[in-house]
Amino acid sequence: MHQNKYFTWILYIILLIVLLLFSVVLGLSIGELNVKLTDLFRMIFLGENTDSIEFTLITQVRLPRVILGLAVGGGLSLAGVILQGIYRNPLVEPFTLGISGGASLGVAATIVLGLHLTLGSFMLPLSGFAGALLIIFLVYAISMRKGVLHIQDMLLTGVMISFIASSGLMFMMAVTSTENLHGIIFWIMGSLDESDGSLIQLTLWLNLGILVISYLFVQSLNALRLGEEKAMQLGINTNVVTRILFILASLLAGICVSVAGVIGFVGLIIPHLLRMVFGTDYRILLISSFLLGGTFVILSDIMARTIISPNELPIGVITGILGGLVFIVLMSRKKTRI
């Protein structure tokens, strides 16, 4: 029975990897200039036509976007599945706790103060990450009483801090110039257009690292499905586990938002979709969320850059519309347990 289950899981993971590879190939070959699959493989694996415009497009424009899409989509989706596990609430996503609000506030402050103009554009992701960290710290500190982390309080605190961050953002937008307004609004809508290769690599490795670390807590996440008390009876130190998982998920979301802006719905829709297929076992949910999240964002990015080409849409528009529609359909068809 168990062997059958594991066998099915392996098959599904292989299927998800194939789907991811398919989206990667699509991402590399589709665009303003469509590249044939054979030409794509020749250029990448045989090193042919390396001085052509196609090679430049693939290696310097599309590949960074595809890698960042995988890292950000995977990261947001993983953060979503972990947070939904901790809170046992299907509506929680990385941005519910105000992490995106904090990052947006940090970036807006940098744009308003012009720090990106004086110190360099690296200030944008840095300030976004700092803003996200500040929110994580606030939510954590406010929800901690007598050394115990109150999970449900944490959710409420997160929502409230999210509102405060949104108001802070509106304040920034109200007092700044029209040029800055433009910058803030477009940052909020999200983009995978990042030219700094080392930042993209760092994002990917950090997110993969957190995926590996999260597997150390997979049994605890499974136990938490039964409720905090039962998990404690099973020998899980829920207080410590919850803290670590919260920090991991928040860091993931903070990293993703600071690099790519607010790309909504990924952390909500992907875990839901996978629960319908796999049930609630986190051993398969964690890795599959990462893989499908990455695939979803890569495909959304292809749509964002081709749908009104040569103009480009912000990726948040695509994930928001697609995610929202899929979510409504899923909610109307089936209710799943967390």
Partner 1 sequence: MKSLVRNYRFSFICFLLLSFFTGLSLSAETPKRIISLAPSLTKNLYLLEAQDLLVGCTKYCRLQSETDAQVIASAIQVNYEKAILLKADLIITTDLTKTKTIDTFKKLGIEVLVFKNPKNFNEICEQFIELGAKIGKTDQAKAIITQARERVSSLTASIPIDRSRQKLFMQIGANPLFTVVPGMFMNDLIQLSACTNLASDLRMGSINLESVLLRDPEVIIVVLMGSMGMEEKMKWNKFTNLTAVKKQQIYTLGADNACSPTPLSFVDALEELIGLVYSN
CA atoms of 37 and 25, how far apart (whole Å)? 8
Count of alpha carbons within 13 angstroms of residue 314, beta-carbon side: 18
Residue 117 three-state SS: helix
Residue number with CB closer to partner 1 (171 or 205): 171
Q: Does 175 bind partner 1 (CB under 8 A)?
A: yes
Structure-block tokens of residue 108: 């807006």
Contact yes or no for 158/94 (Cβ under 8 A): no
String of DSSP letters for 279-307: TT-HHHHHHHHHHHHHHHHHHHHHHHHHT
Q: Does 176 bind partner 1 (CB under 8 A)?
A: yes
Q: 């875990």: which residue's tokens?
A: 271
Q: CA-CA-CA-CA torsion for 256, 111, 319, 193, nearest 10 degrees? A: -70
Interacting residue with partner 1 among 29, 191, 250, 300 (CB under 8 A): 191
CA atoms of 113 and 170, how far apart (whole Å)? 15
Contacts of 256 (CB under 8 A, 6+ apart): 71, 72, 75, 76, 79, 94, 203, 207, 263
Residue 145 three-state SS: strand
Stretch that binds partner 1, among 28-36, 143-151, 230-238, 245-253 (CB under 8 A): 28-36
Stretch that binds partner 1, among 2-10, 50-58, 73-81, 289-297 (CB under 8 A): 50-58
Interacting residue with partner 1 among 49, 167, 195, 233 (CB under 8 A): 195
Stretch that binds partner 1, among 59-67, 133-141, 148-156, 280-288 (CB under 8 A): 59-67
Q: Does 61 bind partner 1 (CB under 8 A)?
A: yes
Contact yes or no for 157/98 (Cβ under 8 A): no
Residue number with CB closer to partner 1 (35 or 251): 35
Stretch that binds partner 1, among 27-35, 132-140, 141-149, 283-291 (CB under 8 A): 27-35
Residue number with CB closer to partner 1 (223 or 263): 263
Q: Does 26 bind partner 1 (CB under 8 A)?
A: no
Nearest-approach distance from CB 108 to partner 1, in angstroms: 13
Which residues in 292-321 contact partner 1 (CB under 8 A)? 305, 308-314
CA atoms of 293 and 304, how far apart (whole Å)? 16
Q: Does 116 bind partner 1 (CB under 8 A)?
A: yes
Q: Does 193 bind partner 1 (CB under 8 A)?
A: yes
Q: Does 60 bind partner 1 (CB under 8 A)?
A: yes
Interacting residue with partner 1 among 187, 217, 246, 296 (CB under 8 A): 187
Nearest-approach distance from CB 40 to partner 1, in angstroms: 15
Residue number with CB closer to partner 1 (32 or 48): 32
Contacts of 60 (CB under 8 A, 6+ apart): none
Residue number with CB closer to partner 1 (155 or 200): 200
Binding site for partner 1 (CB under 8 A): 31-33, 51-53, 56-57, 60-62, 114, 116-121, 173-183, 186-187, 191, 193, 195, 305, 308-314
